[in-house]
Structure 1
Amino acid sequence: MTDNELREQIATYCESNNVPGFVAGVYHAGEQTVVAHGIANVATGAAMREDTGFLFGSVTKVLTTTLVLRQVERGVLDLDAPVVEHLPDFTAGDRILVRHLVTHTNGIDADLYFPDEKGRDALRTYVDGLGSDTLFEPGEQLSYSNGGMIVAGRLLEVVTGTPFPDLLQREVYAPVGMTNSSTSAEQAILRSTAIGHFPDPRTRRPRPTGVFMLPDTWGPAGGTPIGTVADLLAFGRTHLANGVSPTGERVLSAASVASMRQVWHDMRTPNVPPMGMGWVLYPFGDTTVLAMSGASPGGVSILCVVPEHDLVFTAFGNTSGAIMLQDQLLRWLLTERLGVRISTMIADLDPDVDLTPYVGTYRSNQLRIDVGIADGQLEESVTYEPADESQERIFTNFAGGATQAPPQRYVPVRPGLFAPAGYPLDTFDGYLRLLLVSFHDVRDGQARFRNGGGRLTRRA
């Protein structure tokens, strides 16, 4: 693999799709490559460099899970213990186990809950403010859960007596060798750091985000950790090496690393890959890619580990559309570099599917999705319903001001599975299979759940 091959693909995509800056890294069989392109911040003109830092976003969830398993190995936590044993004021249910938090099977309905709190009490404030609403019984379904990871972060604080940012620094950053990683804007500003961008609604050109990061309450889910491509490559290599970091320090036991790669829940639908512990387990043909992507205000990151081929891939782009380039690079690495044959996810559509079981209104925390039928297709309208002014302000900043999307049409692939209209079917063979929408648990002619982007909403 040469730097030029990566550079050419990155430059071509960024210049054609208004992505200001992009940085990517690949480790394969002892060789490591890092490539940077473009601008880290259009307001200052600062270049994106190979050592430019960026928000990890939800890639942090794998770091949080690693922290949990370190405490399990020490006997401080038990994966099968109820969360309320350590957090007696936890209101989401006494049947939620520690394991449910890190396998996204907890059902906590709080995916858009953004309490605005800073400092040492941030995670306590989050947990204290959680309601008792759940989307499903623990272990019944799978739904990507920011809330579960944040509760796990608070759990770690309670059992270790250490604030989450300090614990992350001591127990992951230091032993892995993530020397340029931090958890605060105050630390990040001391070095080269990228910010996110959103398309200007008038010019479509990228404009800088108005807020750098989410509140401290979202730290364990990905709101605050910041670092470099080299740091994430080091973390990925630690999981490649069965828990031993590039510094030679053992971070996790081989058994814990294996448990993170184990399938803990499988929805058996193409748009929701099997879930490990922390990792999402993406099947690409006969090869499994351990992956997690992460959104931040105006940016998107990704970390992929391919144990069968001794490969780690990570990248950050400072507009949300950069996920398309990340998918392109991942597929190129798998097919051209590793010789992996990627199976066709969707061979054809089925126009004869009965659409009526899926029509209705589905809800989750501060989100309503209305599903109807138009011209033989499903049509969905997504509405954000903020709980209060603070929630609206934070979410609006996170979304770049756009909180209402135009209706989206979906075409039937088979009963219960739909593709966004107008996309080539091979779009869904890669990471972007998440664009598909599925419906689950049909009872009395009505689906009980909708799953989009890995997240469940429940029929109202």
Structure 2
Amino acid sequence: MNTNALRTLEARFREQIAAACESGAVPGFVAGVHHAGEQVVVAHGTANLATGAPMREDTGFLFGSVTKVLTTTLVLQQVERGTLDLDAPVVRYLPEFALAVPGAADKILVRHLISHTNGIDADLYFPDAKGRDALKTYVAGLADGHGTLFEPGERLSYSNGGMIVAGRLLEAVTGLSFPGLLQRDVYGPAGMKDSSTSAEQAILRSTAVGHFPGPDTMPETVPETVPETVPETVRLRPTGMFTLPDTWGPAGGTPIGTVADLLAFGRTHLAGGVSPTGARVLSAASTELMRRVSYDMASPNVPPMGLGWVLYPFGGTTVLAMSGASPGGVSLLCVVPEHDLVLAAYGNTPGALMLQDQLLRQLLSEHLGVAIPTLVSQVRQDVDLTPYAGTYRSDQLRIDVSVVDGQLEERTTYEPADASQERIFTAFAGGATSAPPQRYVPVGPGLFAPAGHPLETFDGYLRLLLVSYHDVRDGQARFRNGGGRLTRRA
């Protein structure tokens, strides 16, 4: 991409981002692209509706689960230094690590933590602890009622718990706190000069906060065609909780930075582990290992998993990606090694992921010439729906699936373990403890799409909205996968 092409891209991004913000769908949005030595950053809208502070190119935001790639980078640094072995049991380094099922934790290897193949059933476990012992508190709590969804290495399920255990593991072998280690071994050498790990640090500079639909609001979407005027019914309110507890730091609860910081981190992985500052953050072999498929469910809605990175296939092009939800916001980091490109973006309402998907697909197809294949092509009329009906559960989550009018209907309910879990989860989710019933139509064997959406919606990043069912035995599916997360038939 030459300079003129990048400037054309910048102008197009600026137009789309402004339209989304001015429609009322997203209060503020910031995105940046680095390609072949050139870089642009575009920002528009409002960082905080309560204060009216503008979203600027250097406004900070919560990385959310993008942090998982940073945590994985830290783990592989320790592997390179000989303090960790990917194929060693976690309990070798963290003997206090235990789960509710006796002996289950002993089978989990270091590798399983960062490849989301550990099976730890704790994806919505939010112990409320702060400070130096926060991760120790998290690990201690796993033995009290948290089991496994599957045997380690047997399946893939997006795992916050695995990454948090990895963070505690890092503390155990280095003697440093996770925030201190992140600052020393990633932020510093990668040139992430505006990144921090706490609200106390973030308040000292421009920082965005998330927003949720308020009372009487319309469903939050980013329409393909933005209306000329903002409907009065579109209302958003700032989140009442800025970050998740410190216990969630390694999974994405507390790290904060800018688009330029994420671009610098992405460029480090483009360059085989050498940062824009010239410092080596990771070896070329380790960066390559992170890109290698660790597990592939061979299901269109669940891209193959590397170490840390999710490996999105777009035809012959692989996009290394991770998105990150925070209270009322969503970030995205994509690295495209074949085209020497990094995309980073943040929007301060959950629906901003739709705009991020539009920008990514436009970037791939129009500016890189990448053909985006059709993922699902038709609604199937010949699928027996009965194997999928039933109740599926994981940590504090229940999904009831029934057959209604030739479609699947899902009812999702959060079932808090105690008042503290309910308080944190509902603040993270903007006050909701259950979702409205959602209908799904069959689009492939064991694969379903949300009803009412054009099927091309799911060709890009939003393939995660598809739902799949797995391991049908005796006429019943044992697992449901939505958003990369497994729930197991009750």
Q: TM-score per shorter chain, which class? A: over 0.9
After TM superposition, list the pairs within 5 Å mapping 1:225-304 onto structure 2. Answer: 225-304=255-334
- The answer to whether the aligner puts 1:95 opposite 2:110 as a matched pair is no
The residue aligned with 1:345 is 375
TM-score when scaled to structure 1?
Answer: 0.99
Higher mean C-alpha deviation, range 399-408 or range 428-437:
399-408
Partners of 1:21 and 1:425 lie apart in 2 by 28
Match for residue 207 of structure 1 among 227, 234, 237? 237
- Helix, strand or coil: the match of 2:377? coil
The equivalent residue for 1:77 is: 84
- Could you tell me how far apart the structure 2 residues matched to 1:400 and 1:414 are? 33
Going from structure 1 to structure 2, the CA distance change for 1:17 and 1:266 (only over 3 Å counts) comes to farther
**Is it true that 1:111 corresponds to 2:118 in the alignment?**
no
Residue 15 (structure 1) shift: 2.2
Q: Which amino acid aligns with 2:199?
A: A
Residues 1:422 and 2:436 aligned together:
no
Displacement of 1:88 in angstroms is 1.2
Is the 1:354–1:415 contact (alpha carbons within 8 Å) kept by the matching residues of 2?
no
Question: In structure 1, how many angstroms separate the alpha carbons of the residues matched to 2:408 and 2:11?
Answer: 43
Q: Secondary structure at the match of 1:456?
A: strand
Q: Output the CA distance in 2 between the equivalents of 1:32 and 1:296.
A: 26
The residue correspondences of 1:30-49 to structure 2 (distance < 5 A) are 30-49=37-56
CA deviation map 1:229-261 (0-9, x unaligned):
000000000000000000001111100000000
Cα distance in structure 1, aligned partners of 2:110 and 2:21 = 41
Distance in 2 (CA, whole Å) between partners of 1:177 and 1:263 is: 28
Q: Provide the rounded CA distance (Å) in 2 between the counterparts of 1:264 and 1:14.
A: 38
Residue in structure 2 matching 1:184, options 182, 185, 198? 198
Q: Which amino acid aligns with 2:111?
A: R
Aligned to 1:356: 386
**1:168 maps to 2:198:** no
Query: Is the partner of 1:94 in helix, strand or coil?
Result: helix
- What letter corresponds to residue 18 of structure 1 in structure 2? A
Alignment partner, residue 332 of structure 1: 362
Q: Indicate if the aligned counterparts of 2:22 and 2:45 stay in contact, CA closer than 8 A.
A: no
Q: What is the Cα deviation at residue 17 of structure 1? A: 4.7
Q: For 2:441, which of 411, 414, 420 is the aligned residue? A: 411
Query: C-alpha offsets along residues 275-295 of structure 1, whole Å, 9 cap, x if unaligned?
Result: 000000000111000000000
Q: Which residue of 2 aligns with 1:445?
A: 475
Asked if 2 retains the 8 angstrom alpha-carbon contact of 1:363 and 1:369, the reply is yes
Q: What are the superposed Cα offsets for residues 400-421 of structure 1, whole Å, 9 maximum, x if unpaired?
A: 1012111100000122100010
Which residue of the partner structure matches residue 229 of structure 2? none
Question: What is the CA distance between 1:385 and its match in structure 2?
Answer: 0.3
2:230: which partner in 1? none
Q: TM-score, normalised by structure 2?
A: 0.93
> Partner of 2:21 in structure 1?
14
Instruction: Give the aligned residue type for 1:129.
Output: G
**d(CA) in 1 for partners of 2:59, 2:444:** 44
* Partner deviation per Cα, 1:123-170 (whole Å, 9 max, x = no partner): 000000003510000011100000000000000000000000000000
Q: Report the equivalent of 1:133.
A: 147
Structure-1 separation of matches of 2:391 and 2:378: 28
Whichever residue aligns with residue 122 of structure 2, its letter is: A
1:55 lines up with 2:75 in the alignment: no
Residue 14 (structure 1) shift? 2.3
**2:290/2:308 contact within 8 Å kept:** yes
CA deviation profile, 1:166-188 (whole Å, cap 9, x unmatched): 00000000000000000000000
Residue identity in the other structure for 2:198: S
User: 1:123 is matched with which residue?
Assistant: 135
With over 3 angstroms needed to count, the CA separation of the structure-2 counterparts of 1:435 and 1:174, relative to structure 1, is: same
Q: 1:5, CA displacement in angstroms?
A: 1.6
Structure-2 residue corresponding to 1:154: 168
SS at match of 1:219: helix
Same amino acid, percent of matched pairs: 80
Aligned counterparts of 1:199 and 1:412: Cα–Cα separation in 2: 30
Q: Which runs of 5+ in 1 are unaligned?
A: none
Cα distance between partner residues in 2 of 1:242 and 1:377: 47
Ranges of 4+ aligned residues in structure 1 off by more than 4 Å: none
Matches within 5 A, 1:305-320: 305-320=335-350
1:16: how far off? 2.5
Check the 8 A contact 1:83/1:94 in 2, yes or no: yes
- How far, CA to CA, are the matches of 1:13 and 1:434 in structure 2? 22
